[in-house]
Amino acid sequence: MADELFPLLDRQQRWLDGYHAGLRLSERGTVISVGDGIVWIKGLPSAAMDQALIFADGSTGQVFHLGEHLIGAVLLSESEALTAGTSVRLGDASVSIAVGEALLGRVIDPLGQPLDGLPPPACASRRNLEGPSPAMTERDFVKRPLYTGISLIDTLLPIGMGQRQLIIGDEGLGRTSIALDTVINQRGRNVVCVYVVVGHKRSEAINILGVLREQGALEYTTLVVAGGSALPGMKYLAPYAGCAIGEYWMRQGRDCLVIYDDLTLHARAYRELSLLLRRPPGREAYPGDIFYLHARLLERATCLAPEQGGGSLTALPIVETQQGEIASYIPTNLISITDGQIYLERNLFAGGIRPAIDVGKSVSRIGGKAQHPAIKRQAAHIKLDYLQFQELEAFTRFGARLEVKMQAKLRRGSILREMLKQNRLQPREETRLLAWLIAYNSGLLDDLDPRQARRYLENLGEQAHNWPLTLDTPLEQWQAEVTQWWADSGGRHEQTA
Ligand SMILES: Nc1ncnc2c1ncn2[C@@H]1O[C@H](COP(=O)(O)OP(=O)(O)O)[C@@H](O)[C@H]1O
Ligand SMILES: [Mg+2]
């Protein structure tokens, strides 16, 4: 009997030894009202900004506003049962997302939940959606090129890894197309991509997914979607989720490209939430901290120093203008935050020029340092040539008669424009671009009828594809090949005829 009792008593004793009397505190708040994707809450005195909230019905949210008496929160998921009176408790200090290899090829919402009907991605680690940007000492200069495969951009507006380049223009002029082409061009280049779709219709997200899949780009891309019908809180979080995934890759020492499509709709979601939470409205009814909203997102894009693994996060935010007005609030903010902009123009688009990039209003402030010297040398005068040509062309529209010299200039300009035109989904490799630039700069194409130019360029491009040359091959060798091509293609003969 005692034999049985002693071990039992012993266990009891050990349990008692381990017991510490104390009060376990757990705060509870109560929902006062729900609607339009936001909640007002009473209680939870220790709640902090951005803290996660868990409601008794299973809904989730995030603290967005700390009032004197009430807490304002945005909903991130909502069940039918969430009503006034539902109790709520505090969750993690900040909202996070699962990150890892398993995200490639997947479509997820800003909290990492699958939208593609597959099981949740199995990731080992998590990253907070919000986080500090890398310190100055952790960063390196932007010095490696990121090729978009779009000739005009790779020549005149080069982008470097770690750069933030804005794509700006009215709706329907090809902003999404440029972003998608850039993602597609990363195939086989060891760059992982994140495409964030914010606020667009469901059909737009499906289109983007379709293109990525058809072009074989989905396997190295994660699509983060908070569509037009998503809760405004999810739209607000989407770019930060994309950024957190991108940062994970960057911290792994990889190169990552993140697209934010688009930040106008993101800013609108933020404005909606802010107005509902009765924050004082400022210019265009946006709250006062709207600049900070985008600055803290884009500051996280950078190129890390070699000691930090040397990874990079390149950001291509997209913004929408109304009637081409770049001086309105959100566009000017973004222009000042980014390292340059690609500006799309309606008249060019209407005139059949694709991509409809206005070279005069576009700029890349730091990408030139990352451009390959071979392309940089050939591109040196192209921008000026092109702008002068546009001016001349506008001038001749009024029926001005031109000297022979001017006519030649006009023809040369038209050929340049043919060279820089490009259909979507047809990325061009850098060697093809270099061959074209050399042919153009050496004046070989000057006497061609601009209508013939395209045929010649395509032919040169195909030839260049087979030349055993790289961008690092000395210029003389390139020039020799291009000259030989010209002689073989009988161009001279046709000119004189
Ligand atoms: N380079 C291009 N070549 C051919 N069509 C293009 C090109 N760029 C855009 N488009 C067409 O223009 C339309 C609008 O493009 P999209 O990228 O959706 O514009 P946005 O995102 O600015 O609203 C689409 O129908 C697209 O096919
Ligand atoms: Mg678009």
Q: Are 303 and 144 in contact (CB under 8 A)?
A: yes
* Upper half-sphere CA count for residue 229 (Cβ side, 13 Å): 5
Q: With CA atoms as reference, report the closest residue to 244 among 120, 95, 116, 410.
A: 95
354 lines ligand 1 (CB under 6 A): yes
What's the full length of the chain, in residues?
497
CATH class of 29-90: mainly beta
Domain boundaries, the chain: 29-90, 96-371, 377-496
Model pLDDT for residues 311-331, shown as the tens digit of each residue: 999 999 999 999 999 999 999
Does residue 355 have a cis peptide bond before it, meaning omega lies within 30 degrees of 0?
yes
Identify the three-state secondary structure at position 55: strand
H runs (alpha helix) in 338-490 = 346-350, 373-379, 382-396, 404-420, 430-441, 450-466, 475-488
Please name the helix (run of DSSP H) or strand (run of DSSP E) that holds residue 454, with its range, or none. helix 450-466
Q: How far is the CA of 461 from the centre of ligand 1 (A)?
A: 24
CATH of domain 377-496: 1.20.150.20
pLDDT at 496: 44
Low-confidence ranges of the chain (pLDDT < 50): 493, 496-497
**CB-count burial class (<10 Å; 0-12, 13-18, 19+) for 18:** exposed
Ligand approaching nearest to the C-alpha of 174: 1
Q: How far is the CA of 361 from the centre of ligand 2 (A)?
A: 20
Neighbours of 347 (CB within 10 A): 10
Q: Are 430 and 373 in contact (CB under 8 A)?
A: no
**CB-count burial class (<10 Å; 0-12, 13-18, 19+) for 496:** exposed
List Cβ<8 Å contacts ≥24 apart for 14-23: none
175 lines ligand 1 (CB under 6 A): yes
Using CA atoms, how far apart are residues 473 and 492, in angstroms rounded to an integer?
26
Closest residue (by CA) to atom 11 of ligand 1?
Answer: 174
40 has which bridge partners?
33, 72
Q: Which are the catalytic amino acids? A: 365
123 has which bridge partners?
none
Using CA atoms, how far apart are residues 72 and 37, in angstroms rounded to an integer?
11
Model pLDDT for residues 134-164, shown as the tens digit of each residue: 999 999 999 999 999 999 999 999 999 999 9
pLDDT at 22: 73
Please name the helix (run of DSSP H) or strand (run of DSSP E) that holds residue 164, with its range, or none. none
CATH class of 96-371: alpha beta
Query: Is the pTM of the predicted complex or chain greater than 0.85?
Result: yes
